[in-house]
Structure 1
Amino acid sequence: MHDARNVRAPSLFRLAAASLAGTAIEFYDFFVYGTAAALVLGPLFFPTFSPVAGTLAAFGTFGVGFIARPLGSVLFGHIGDRRGRRPVLIASLMLTGTATVAVGCVPTYDTIGMAAPVLLLVLRFLQGLGLGGEWGGAVLLTVEHAPPGRRALWSSFPQVGPSLGFILANGMVLGLSATLSDAQFASWGWRIPFWTAGLLAAAGLWLRGSLTESPRFLEIDDHARVPLAEVVRVHWRLVLLTAGALAVGYAVFYSVTTWSLAYATERLGVSRPVMLTCVMATVLVQGALTPLAALLGDRYGRRPLCLTGCAAVALWMFPMVALLSTGEPLLMFLGFLGAMLAFITMFAVTAAYLPELYEPRVRCTGAAVGYNLGGVLGGALTPIVATTLAGHGGRVPWGVGAYLTAVALLSLGCFALLPETAPVSVPVAEPAPG
């Protein structure tokens, strides 16, 4: 058994800041690919396809990152449950940062032919592998240091990281779009955000280097020998329910931040800077309100907020696609804002909710696998399904609204079957029936 008494607890502010910064950097790496897939990767890496087919192919490589994320959660979850949460933060950041820089170095189809999209696919897989480990390590290190009555609040800071990463990624693309011609951006400008990931990863490693291990992990004296096997055997029902419950959050986020970029620029003729500005403004508000929603989770419980957010998504998807189809910046922003407020009502508390559902000995694996399987269901499929549905409809993509509403209802049912975890519950959760 490790002796937790001799480990100096870090400042929660310093710990939360390091977790937020590292998560923001890793999600920057992940999001910059999504933005590039929506705007330029189709013509550069799939030039023999039609515009719509090229976008679908680019989104296909985008989806590979989500497929890799559960595998990353298994790999890094094993490390996190056997060796500690802290090593996960270092290794996952190094892997994601290296793969992202390499994407910016891949020659296009015109230079090396089919090897170009194959390399893109491999590097996107490695990105997803690293990000699959990032969330579990960052969230657990924070939530296991936090006092029981404030777990949702402190664990919400890593949840702000995706918002900051998205704003940083899209802000850089927006700045390049404003200063470069379309030809320059397509020729070399799109590579700059990927190369920048190397500097950001170095900064993240410096921030995380001084963090101490989770005291809850150090107290465990019966580590699972094969955490995944125990999760599958004991918690399989819980994993499936959390994956289905979180699918709607991914579906909403990536319909707004990825699919809408491609749809509005290609089908509606909205300029790239206008769309990026609308989406960035929405994500900025979402990130700012995340700690407030988490405070409500500490006050009223995790499950009520998740059910409320799912219901709000189900009610808002048809209005959102109607507002998007106008092509008017203010109306599009209002449509996106309603969707993202519903989204953050759920996701602000999931960083506390998921770990509380699993016992500490398999917490890193169980929570991360459930979280990232939700990404496969909601994030990998949504841009592809939405692009296909929008291609067969009129100016208003009602099919996309119907699809997102259906995902919201599925997630609502899953959340209804999950138990509540009291805001002041003890660290060890009761194993779910499975």
Structure 2
Amino acid sequence: MTSTTSSPPAMTPRRAATAALLGSALEYYDFFVYGAAAALVFNVLFFPSGDPTVALIASFATFAVGYVARPVGAVVMGHFGDRLGRKRVMLATVVMMGVASFAIGCLPTYDQLGLVAPVLLVALRVVQGFSAGAESAGASTLTVEHSPVGRRGFFTSFVMVGYAVGCSLATVVFLPIAMLPHDALYTWGWRIPFWLSAVVVVITYYVRSHLDETPAFTEARQEDQVRKRPLNDVITHHWRDVIRVAGASLMASMQTLFAVFSLSYATSVGVERGTMLAIISGSIALSIIGIPAAGYLSDVIGRKRTMLIGAVGGALSIFPYLWAISTANVMLIAIFAFVNMSLFFSCYNGVWTSFFAEQFPAPVRFTGMAVSNQLGNLLAGFAPLIAAVLLGAGPSGWLPVAFFGAIATGIGAIAVIGMRETSKTPAEFLGGPRAEELIGQLSSPQPATPAARPADATMS
């Protein structure tokens, strides 16, 4: 009898990492452009109010709405990612994100269309959030499944190298726009960064369309292990992992406090918006080095240790960073921005993409990671809004915001401690509660019997 089962496609970690980087660059390009526009433009054009604080809070609320839509996108797109394949969903997410971003740049303002304008802005932000709910998890799943054991952390870290590239690219575009005279900025200038996202969409779609499906999903499909209702399996059998990953994802609040809230806070105390944008983007750009270094480090010393270094350092460094902003001292702001984002937060960004995906087995990996990660990211979406409410008056008004960021990061660290270490776990044991025990059995010396030698040889 001839077997009809074909061998799974070969791993292509470099190609997968490139595809993941480009998709993530698009997501975070749009993330940073929208965040900057929410802090500097949307409060004026879409939410006019006699009280500028109320207008700013309303603008930040539209930023948060995108994060509310993310879990919905995670459930829907994660389902299809585990049912139909990683590649198809990754093509769909990039198109959705690009179309929504381009359309935001075409919106009429409140003065032109009244209340319909902010409604349309919120609707398109929901589409962005729906797409982003699957993008990071899908890119991470795809790259993990294309990467060999012992290198998964390094290759999958390029998902968040895309974050640094996207934010840096957005700044290169938005910085000269932000320095335009108000008349130009509030009429046509703010639209240009949203329109330019179409370029990234075309490049990303081309690269992803030439990428093979992952070996893990192909093997699951050949062995009839594809789940009909992956979300049910995740909730029933992996709910503890969902709680742990969601808790660890609270650390992402540090990112939105750094990239969105601190921009509006700095401008309110007299720091030039162009200067602050340059500091934020420069610190994120430097993490292009720190993120893959952290991914590599996690392959060597473990995911947990690397993430805990980032958690402790990030929680401590948010205090001097916000204090430096309150003094309007540009040099101090730049130094502590580098420490907080380029160094310590890179230890989170370089590891979570592989670590979270590795907590779930292949048949439900996309759904499990997407849903749990986006549940935790809800706080990150609301963090700028919460910070704007917590911000007090006077030189020490930043303290409640710093404590908020440190507490969220501390909870994330506790969740990380409860997760399984996966840096050395073979792919077939990922997501299994007995993975560490099985790894110990495989690495322990075996009797040199004729029956044992073939098994030892296959594991080498």
* TM-score (norm: length of structure 2): 0.89
Q: Specify the structure having the higher radius of gyration (Cα).
A: 2
Distance of aligned partners of 1:409 and 1:393 in 2 relative to their CA distance in 1, 3 Å threshold: farther
Give 1:300 deviation, angstroms.
Answer: 0.8
Give 1:393 deviation, angstroms.
Answer: 5.1
Give 1:160 deviation, angstroms.
Answer: 0.7
Residue deviations 1:202-254 (CA, integer Å, cap 9, x gap): 22111211110000101112111111111111112211221111212x21111
1:105 aligns to 2:113 (yes or no): no
1:339 alignment partner in structure 2: 340
Distance of aligned partners of 1:198 and 1:303 in 2 relative to their CA distance in 1, 3 Å threshold: same
Matched to 1:223, the amino acid is V
Instruction: Show the 5 A alignment for 1:107-146.
Output: 107-146=108-147
1:292 alignment partner in structure 2: 293
Q: Is the 8 A contact 1:245 1:415 kept in 2?
A: yes
- Secondary structure of the equivalent of 1:404? helix
Distance of aligned partners of 1:67 and 1:4 in 2 relative to their CA distance in 1, 3 Å threshold: farther
Give 1:426 deviation, angstroms.
Answer: 3.4
Distance of aligned partners of 1:108 and 1:301 in 2 relative to their CA distance in 1, 3 Å threshold: same
Aligned length in residues = 428
1:5 aligns to 2:7 (yes or no): yes
2:202 alignment partner in structure 1: 202
* TM-score (norm: length of structure 1): 0.95
After TM superposition, the structure 1 stretch with the greater mean CA deviation from structure 2, 186-195 or 334-343, is 334-343
Residue deviations 1:325-369 (CA, integer Å, cap 9, x gap): 121222111222221122111221111111211011100000111
- Identity percentage of aligned residues: 37
2:265 aligned residue (260, 263, 266):
263
1:352 alignment partner in structure 2: 354
After TM superposition, the structure 1 stretch with the greater mean CA deviation from structure 2, 131-140 or 94-103, is 131-140
Q: Is the 8 A contact 2:11 2:147 kept in 1?
A: no
1:147 alignment partner in structure 2: 148
Distance of aligned partners of 1:6 and 1:347 in 2 relative to their CA distance in 1, 3 Å threshold: closer
For residues 49 and 257 of structure 2, what CA distance do their matches in structure 1 show? 26
Q: Is the 8 A contact 1:81 1:224 kept in 2?
A: yes
2:442 alignment partner in structure 1: none
RMSD of the alignment, in Å?
A: 1.8
Distance of aligned partners of 1:239 and 1:336 in 2 relative to their CA distance in 1, 3 Å threshold: same
For residues 4 and 181 of structure 1, what CA distance do their matches in structure 2 show? 62
Give 1:201 deviation, angstroms.
Answer: 0.9
Q: Is the 8 A contact 2:82 2:363 kept in 1?
A: yes
Give 1:425 deviation, angstroms.
Answer: 3.1
1:225 aligned residue (212, 223, 228):
228
2:250 aligned residue (247, 265, 269):
247
1:166 alignment partner in structure 2: 167
For residues 320 and 4 of structure 2, what CA distance do their matches in structure 1 show? 54
For residues 31 and 130 of structure 1, what CA distance do their matches in structure 2 show? 16
For residues 288 and 117 of structure 1, what CA distance do their matches in structure 2 show? 38
For residues 145 and 349 of structure 1, what CA distance do their matches in structure 2 show? 16
Give 1:197 deviation, angstroms.
Answer: 1.3
1:189 aligns to 2:192 (yes or no): no
1:157 aligns to 2:166 (yes or no): no
Runs (5+) with no aligned partner, structure 1: none
For residues 402 and 54 of structure 1, what CA distance do their matches in structure 2 show? 25
For residues 264 and 37 of structure 1, what CA distance do their matches in structure 2 show? 14
For residues 430 and 100 of structure 1, what CA distance do their matches in structure 2 show? 35
Matched to 1:237, the amino acid is R
